[in-house]
Amino acid sequence: MLCVRKSYALPTIILICLTYFLFANLPPGAESPSVNERTESPDTPDQANDGRLHFTKKSEKYPVSEYIPLPTAAPSPIPQIQYDFPPESWWGRRQRVKRQKAVKEAFTHAWNGYRKHAWMHDELSPLSGDTRETFAGWAATLVDSLDSLVIMGLMDEFEEALKAIEHIDFSTTHATQINIFETNIRYLGGFLGAYDLTNGTYPILLKKATEVADFVYASFDTRNRMPQSRWEWTRSAEGLGIEPSRNTILAELGSLNLEFTRMTQLTKDPKYFDAIQRIADEMEDAQKKTRVPGLWPLFVNAQDMSFPDPRFSVGGMADSAYEYLPKEHMLLGAQTKQYRKMYDAAMDPIKKRLLFRAMTRDGKEVYFPGNIQATLSPGRETLEPQVEHLKCFLGGTVGIGAKVFDRPDELSIARKLTDGCIWGYDIMPTGIMPEIMYISPCKHLESCPWEEKKWYKDVRDRLAKGAQLEDLTGMAKSLIQKHGLPPGVTQIADAQYKLRPEAIESVFIMYRITGDQELQDAAWRMFRNIEKMTRTEFAHAAIDDVRDPHTEQLDYMESFWLAETLKYFYLIFSEPDLVSLDEYVLNTEAHPFRRPTAA
């Protein structure tokens, strides 16, 4: 509905339009405003010359009386993460640089397509050359790619992008809701990563970061100071109250730490750290009280800060909440033990209740994290052996945790998790892992001989449960052929590849930790297959079915393709001191924040 104000419009029409504008399109899980909130007298809207509503700072409804301070003690030593790489051979360097140049060419191809066809828009549609506005219309791909340009030495392109960001107005948007998590990791993270990577040489980056941070900080102005994750920013702009949702995605609540901490470190403004520390304290307090002590469920009642959801996973909707535990510890310079405690509490149930080994025909020892739905009898829940591309981050996270928290026995788990995702790529006809698939799980982690009949039964149970068993083998073979299932796979629930970075992220991290060149070779296989299947005239596109070498391409390319996926491919073929993991913490969008240095 479009409400157009005219000077001769009747007051009743104006009132109807205003009411619709303010209260329509509530975010998923958001509560309708209370009667008191609906009858509040809004502040006079802030209108710029463009006729759009603009957000300006207003008196908070629930101000903080005393900020929780950023730890000020000297940073403590953190164990070294990166492998001590020996001098490179002439042949090794030649091969590595050749691969690195191929990644850079792919990045340049996609960047030039965005620059020519979608400049200042959020995303390029890589088949049609059209544009998409998916993250409030603030040029998401441009901001998300800033530090990638620096890392790849594309400084002319970087300087051009810097001039463009001056024109981004973070006080207004056509979007009715702001996804705080995505705005935080892509925009705020993008500015902070480029600022840190260029050693603060370009003040405009911190200026724009502050604009974004101050804008989204208003989403914390709720009764309990928990953010409204799908923020109704127009209500705040009108001076009306907001509340956090009773159905808040875990990752959207628990993945604001790094960016807001770095803002306080750089600006000395305590409000940012205070905001996320309140979340951390609530999550730590609740961690051992959930249905699976040590883990948080997929959804949180952020209005009451309760955790009744019975579903537990480290995949989509949960992933970065766990990823940020060791990373926040590093960014704080190990000045507190809070994140170590939270990581320790989480790892035990992850290992005991989520991890499983995939049954593979060649006996390869690969691990994946599954899902569980908690029951009234703890420990008796059924593990769902779901493999999700988004879960591939876990190998790198466990690898980092093993190093910084001195848990060396878990390095082998990290490697097996990473090898699992490499296996997921290698078994597909396109050489690319699907978005979601199900695997035949081993009964034990230690020993797992290949059992053809077990695979057949698992396929039948997944795809034709309840069918007659007269010919299990024949039925299973028919299902396997019909659905294009490689050995050990029981279902491919989503066959798309969406240009995701999580697998190469863990391969990169484990390479930097171990120095194992087999990981570089795996990365090269992954890159060549992805480049072959996704390249378009304008850039790169998601694909519809990784089982089909002639699959259809899809007309979208999210900003993380340039911000993360190609960055990780480039870095694994770079010299190891480029964005060293002992100098930087990478946020969940691969933006590097400089770590404090211990005395």
Q: What residues are designated binding site?
A: 588
Cα gap 265→150, rounded to integer Å: 22
Tell me the longest C-alpha to C-alpha distance in the chain.
80
**Hey, how many other C-beta atoms are within 10 angstroms of the C-beta on 470?**
7
- SS3 label, residue 124: strand
- The answer to whether 260 and 274 have CB atoms below 8 angstroms apart is no
Question: 2-26 burial by CB neighbour count: b if 16+ within 10 A, else e?
Answer: eeeeeeeeeeeeeeebeeebebeee
Sequence ranges of the binding site for Ca(2+): 588
Sorted by sequence, the CB contacts under 8 Å of residue 440 that are 6+ apart come out as 358, 359, 385, 454, 455, 458, 459, 488, 489, 490
The DSSP secondary structure of 222-245, one letter per residue, reads STTS---SEE-HHHHHTT------
- The answer to whether 317 and 329 have CB atoms below 8 angstroms apart is no
Nearest in space to 419 (alpha carbons), one of 356, 368, 370 = 368
> β-strands 436-439, 383-384: how paired?
unpaired
Residues with catalytic roles: 182, 319, 435, 502
Tokens of 523: 């990365």
Instruction: Identify any residues that bridge with 301 across adjacent strands, giving them in sequence order.
Output: 306
